[in-house]
Chain A
Amino acid sequence: MASLKELSKRTEGLVGGHRACAGCAASTAIRQILLAAGDKPTVTGICTGCMEVVTTIFPYTAWNVNLVHNAFENSAATVSGMEAAYRALKRKGKIDAEIQFIAFGGDGGTYDIGLQSLSGAIERRHKMLYVCYDNEAYMNTGYQRSSATPYCAHTTTSPAGTKIPGKPQKRKDLTEIIIAHDPAYAAQATPGYYMDLIRKVEKALAADGPSFINVLSPCVPGWGYPLNQTMNISKLAVETLFWPIYEWQDGKYKINMKPREPKPLVDFLKLQARFRHLLKPGNEHLLEELQAEVNRRWEVLLRKEQATNG
């Protein structure tokens, strides 16, 4: 794995000057991912969403690598096509470089509207890494719920009101859906644990086939926390078991960080405006439900790890 020192010498794939919000985790994650990929030529694609919008305002671009934006739901399909063309052109001797492909999408473009195109691309086994930067809502259109939005989170289309306390449904477990596709590699990560993320990108790109990394990416305006807390919140998500960082390869699970003493979930929730209503008197049962759900999922994950490594 590349050391921090080596990474610091690489050319940045995503440079400053873009218009992401201060404290944006997604832009940090993409920067880290492109650094991790940076020892080989890399060509990328992206869904419509915050990261595309803030980095590509014509005539400027923050990308030092080729980037293709097609539409909201199809970066997986678009990059499939690029990878197919690459194979054809290579076979015909028109290209000789070894190129690796990365597709990016937000949780909306990945869990929801783009799930089909991602599923198709993995099933066809295009050799590419798909990265979902998961900020748990549609941020580009002003913070609406997605199927990645957690239970009870307030969003503009799942508002916390007097009758309904935020999003009534649990989040979709996309990572497990992708694992069911039997990809070459799949993982969950977050830029808070950046060396873990870097290592996973290297593994994913080295894997022989389609790979997937789901990157939890806290969002300052959406989640409503102080902008200097992004990395802290990224870590808290892991330390409270809200977002386990783990990987899956060849049928085996590996949990990369097992807090000896997991922090209570409320430590993660209380920093964020989207969960503020949960702290009000009378909502204790919701907090309990949320904690129980996190514990249940963690147990399931532990059992999966045990069962597949036994």
Chain B
Amino acid sequence: MKTIAKTGNEAMAYAMKQINPDVVAAYPITPATEIVQIFSNYVADGEVDTEFVAVESEHSALSACVGASIAGGRVMTSTSSQGLALMHEILYIAAGNRLPIVIALVNRSLSAPINIHCDHSDTMGSREAGWMQLYCANSQEAYDSLIIALKVAEQTAVPAIVSTDAFIISHAMERLEVLEDEEVQRFIGEYKPRFSALDLENPKTFGPLDLQDYFFEHKRAQIDDFSKVLGTYNKVAQEYAELSGRYYPALEEYKTDDADVAIFTAGSTADTAKEVVDGLREQGRKVGLVRMRMWRPLPVEEIKAALGKFKAVAVMDRSDTMADFGGPVFLETRGILYDAKKKPLLTDYVYGLGGRNIDISDILRVYDEIEQVAKQGKIDKLITYLGVRGEE
């Protein structure tokens, strides 16, 4: 185990190097550009033996990844925001063809207005595409998650997106522990594709037209396999913990045992919130944090069990649904809790769109308010757009 200093992007690129995929096809976009830039240096210096395909768009990047994966290769790419949006059509095709492609993604808001900073609108907009989604809180986790995700993807034939928060994680230098190359290779193992379009003995037609008589069954089978991802993830995360000493549950709980209230959030905000929890705990306030790490498939039972303990929960959404009913995490969490025996009062804070800073004082305010909700036993304001000028 080596300790090094790396940004989120460097950490993702380093994990890609140690994975040494057969094909990486990619297109630059701020703030994910560095990942493929660094990776193409590994290619140029012969540190990996990957075919690096510098395509002319993200649409072609994922299209080429689909081709490479159907051809039996271990395949990765990287993108962000508009790039993921341009891949949108092909996200479904990759998942429907059961191709374990992994995207190292940097979460950035979607245009318009154009903005290069963090929110989760890009991945949230792709959440029904059939890709596993992991949201990381820091560079260490981004590095570890990319390796874990690749293995889960290949075991389940479900593609994966591992994401970090634009600039907050992608460009911030952190202390990082990394495995040896051989350890990573041993952990992920040799990739044995279930099929290959280069198998000349058994020619097949991939991606055929599937009409009313079969499509539904095929989709149902895909959905069924998708729901098995959580189980595989739990096993692989355990194995990774044994190897690295770092364990990442699908849903993380922080100081929740005796907590009355909690924040439910994802990404880098969770790390900031932990600081706040520590401070409030010193004051004797019973607050905790639940962090959504795996968002697809949804760890439904875990969320139900975790949030069911509290009197009140503030969901923090870094994107909106435009449903006039809060962000996606809020909507889905409410759905999950609907038939829970014990359920908290639930409010939503939409925050940080377009990279708007979220700091300790913002999170303190959310804890203050959610404690108030718990005390009153009722919600005054269901959805708050946190810190928007002219709003409050």
Binding site for B on A (CB under 8 A): 41, 43, 45, 52-53, 55-59, 61, 63-71, 73-74, 76-89, 91-92, 94-95, 97, 99, 116-117, 119-121, 123-124
8 A-B pairs (CB sep. < 8 Å) = A43-B200, A70-B63, A71-B90, A80-B67, A81-B67, A85-B23, A86-B71, A92-B49
- Inter-subunit contact A85/B68 (CB<8 Å): yes
Asked whether any CB of chain A lies closer than 8 Å to the CB of B369, the reply is no
Contacts of B90 in A (CB 8 A): 70-71, 74
Contacts of B70 in A (CB 8 A): 68, 78, 82
Over the window 48-79 of chain B, the binary record of Cβ atoms lying under 8 Å from chain A Cβ atoms (1 yes, 0 no) is 01110111110110011111111111010000
- Inter-subunit contact A70/B71 (CB<8 Å): no
Contacts of A73 in B (CB 8 A): 59
- Inter-subunit contact A80/B200 (CB<8 Å): no
- Inter-subunit contact A69/B208 (CB<8 Å): yes
> Which of these, A65, A82, A97, contacts B68 with CB under 8 Å?
A82
Kindly specify which of B9-17, B209-217, B337-345, B381-389 makes contact with the partner chain: B209-217
Asked whether any CB of chain A lies closer than 8 Å to the CB of B205, the reply is yes
Number of interface residues of B (CB under 8 A): 42
Q: How far is the CA of A242 from the CA of B200 in the complex (A)?
A: 40
- Inter-subunit contact A86/B198 (CB<8 Å): yes
- Inter-subunit contact B64/A81 (CB<8 Å): yes
Asked whether any CB of chain A lies closer than 8 Å to the CB of B204, the reply is yes
Given A80-B67, A88-B22, A116-B60, answer yes or no on A66-B204 (Cβ-Cβ < 8 Å).
yes
List the 6 closest pairs (A to B, CB-CB), nearest first. Answer: A81-B67, A81-B64, A120-B56, A85-B73, A56-B208, A77-B60
- Inter-subunit contact B200/A66 (CB<8 Å): yes
- Inter-subunit contact A66/B60 (CB<8 Å): no
Nearest CB in chain A: distance from B44 CB, A: 16
- Inter-subunit contact A99/B23 (CB<8 Å): no
Q: How far is the CA of A86 from the CA of B25 in the complex (A)?
A: 14
Nearest CB in chain A: distance from B288 CB, A: 45
> Which of these, A78, A94, A119, contacts B56 with CB under 8 Å?
A119
Asked whether any CB of chain A lies closer than 8 Å to the CB of B207, the reply is yes
Contacts of B72 in A (CB 8 A): 85, 89, 94
Asked whether any CB of chain A lies closer than 8 Å to the CB of B89, the reply is yes
Asked whether any CB of chain A lies closer than 8 Å to the CB of B325, the reply is no
Asked whether any CB of chain A lies closer than 8 Å to the CB of B199, the reply is yes
Q: How far is the CA of A74 from the CA of B63 in the complex (A)?
A: 6
Given A63-B203, A82-B197, A84-B51, answer yes or no on A52-B60 (Cβ-Cβ < 8 Å).
no
- Inter-subunit contact A84/B203 (CB<8 Å): no
In the complex, residue of chain B having the shortest beta-carbon distance to the beta carbon of A90 = B198
10 extra interface residue pairs, beta carbon distance < 8 Å, beyond A58-B208, A68-B66: A43-B200, A56-B209, A68-B207, A69-B209, A77-B55, A80-B64, A84-B53, A88-B49, A120-B55, A123-B56
Contacts of A80 in B (CB 8 A): 25, 53, 55, 60, 64, 67
Contacts of A83 in B (CB 8 A): 67
- Inter-subunit contact A117/B63 (CB<8 Å): yes
Contacts of B204 in A (CB 8 A): 61, 66-67
Interface centre among A52, A77, A97 (most CB of B within 10 A): A77
Q: How far is the CA of A57 from the CA of B51 in the complex (A)?
A: 33
> Which of these, B54, B197, B200, B208, contacts A57 with CB under 8 Å?
B208
Binding site for A on B (CB under 8 A): 22-23, 25, 49-51, 53-57, 59-60, 63-73, 75, 89-90, 93, 197-200, 203-211, 214
Contacts of B63 in A (CB 8 A): 70-71, 74, 77-78, 81, 117
In the complex, residue of chain B having the shortest beta-carbon distance to the beta carbon of A97 = B200
Nearest CB in chain A: distance from B124 CB, A: 23
- Inter-subunit contact A57/B55 (CB<8 Å): no
Given A78-B64, A81-B71, answer yes or no on A88-B51 (Cβ-Cβ < 8 Å).
yes
Contacts of B205 in A (CB 8 A): 55-56, 61, 63, 66-67, 69
In the complex, residue of chain B having the shortest beta-carbon distance to the beta carbon of A57 = B209
Q: How far is the CA of A86 from the CA of B205 in the complex (A)?
A: 18
- Inter-subunit contact B209/A85 (CB<8 Å): no
Contacts of A65 in B (CB 8 A): 203
Contacts of A79 in B (CB 8 A): 67
Q: How far is the CA of A57 from the CA of B214 in the complex (A)?
A: 10
Nearest CB in chain A: distance from B269 CB, A: 36
> Which of these, A55, A58, A121, contacts B210 with CB under 8 Å?
A58
Contacts of A69 in B (CB 8 A): 205-209
Contacts of B49 in A (CB 8 A): 88, 91-92
Q: How far is the CA of A164 from the CA of B10 in the complex (A)?
A: 59
Q: How far is the CA of A92 from the CA of B204 in the complex (A)?
A: 24
Nearest CB in chain A: distance from B53 CB, A: 5
Contacts of B64 in A (CB 8 A): 77-78, 80-81, 84
> Which of these, A63, A77, A87, contacts B67 with CB under 8 Å?
A77
> Which of these, A45, A57, A91, A123, contacts B211 with CB under 8 Å?
A57
- Inter-subunit contact B56/A117 (CB<8 Å): yes
Given A68-B70, A92-B22, answer yes or no on A74-B59 (Cβ-Cβ < 8 Å).
yes
- Inter-subunit contact A85/B208 (CB<8 Å): no
Contacts of B60 in A (CB 8 A): 74, 76-77, 80, 116-117, 120-121
Q: How far is the CA of A45 from the CA of B56 in the complex (A)?
A: 19
Given A71-B89, A116-B60, answer yes or no on A89-B207 (Cβ-Cβ < 8 Å).
no
Interface centre among A59, A70, A71 (most CB of B within 10 A): A70
Contacts of A81 in B (CB 8 A): 23, 25, 53, 63-69, 71, 75
Contacts of B206 in A (CB 8 A): 66-69
Given A41-B200, A78-B63, A89-B198, answer yes or no on A84-B23 (Cβ-Cβ < 8 Å).
yes
Contacts of B207 in A (CB 8 A): 56, 68-70
